[in-house]
Amino acid sequence: MLLALGAVLTLSLMCSTQATNLNLRSLAQKQGLNIGAAVLTGVLQKEPTYRRVLAREFNMLTPENHMKFKPLHPERDRYDFAPADVLVDFAKENDMQVRGHTLVWHHSLPEWLEKGEWTREELMAILQEHIYTVVERYRGQVVEWDVVNEAIADDASLRKSIWLNVIGSDYIEMAFRWAHEADPTVKLFYNDYGSEGINSKSDAIYALVKSLRDRHVPIDGVGLQMHVRADKPPSAEKVAANMKRLGELGLEVHITEMDVKIEHATGTLEEKLTAQANVYRDMMQVCLTAENCDTFVLWGFTDLHSWIPRYLKQPDSPLIFDKFYNPKPAYDALVEVLN
């Protein structure tokens, strides 16, 4: 009887240990997968639960805002690396990798830059100096950079921006070459939204990155942001086909900013959360199946700090933990695929 009881206690402890170890980070690492989340510096510093869940569940982080041009380079002759350094230090302390985001974007630019009247040569010098300074500072600490972000507009044309308007379309090639010169070891990505499957925008991105590859521009991959809706899910087959054709160019493809809005979905809350979970499950499966996808990053991880209610001014619950850090069906779906 005592032996039987001992066996039961041992089994109970083993199950408890397994349950404790059953998290996204440990499961992803067994699959050779980077699983990450975008992180807010202020929240990281203030909320112990945020820090604890982040370190437990993820082996990669992306600065949500503090490596963008405006916060990092607020004045022409001054950089502010302190908030970004907090994230890099946290990653080091918790054995996590860092994705740099982003060197060149049409948004989040400081006033001194946007309101300046620059010649082409002056703006080229500003961009080159910015890229050199930032990439060199985080050399050996950031494993991959979103070098150019959202340079293709929704109509599949080159997006109008200060970079395009003043420098011209070759600013994209310049940015990749300068980033590579600043750190020849870091992986360099083009990143965009609305181009997960096969459509006119993803065709334009394919043409852009193929042109870069043909000219031997140092580009390693394409980031599919994956800001999607539960009621209009991306086609797994089309996403897989897009990853495949980019892979044939020798490019990696990463899911870089995933969240799944449920506000427009129909049915009960339970039905909406199930639909959301199915999207997360399908996209994780696509990534695991693709030979050139080894990174899956969410744009945040708790509904408490999602960008969507702040930016779109409407409530939503797009992430895998609720506002109280409880795992949602989407979390369980990712665990199921990884396990």
Q: Which residues are catalytically annotated?
A: 150, 257
Task: Establish whether the linkage from the previous residue to 102 is cis, with ω within 30° of 0.
Answer: yes
Distance (Å, rounded) from C-alpha 132 to C-alpha 316? 38
Q: What are phi and psi of 108, to 5 degrees?
A: 50, 50
Is residue 233 within 8 A of residue 243, CB to CB? The reply is: no
User: From residue 242, how far is each of 67, 207, 223 by CA, in Å?
Assistant: 28, 12, 12
Distance (Å, rounded) from C-alpha 260 to C-alpha 262? 6
Cβ neighbors of 36 (< 8 A, separation 6 or more) are 58, 59, 60, 61, 62, 96, 97, 99, 295, 296, 297, 298
Structure tokens at 6: 């001992």
Is residue 114 within 8 A of residue 107, CB to CB? The reply is: no
Distance (Å, rounded) from C-alpha 152 to C-alpha 160? 9
Task: Measure CA of the first residue to CA of the last residue in the chain; give whole Å.
Answer: 35
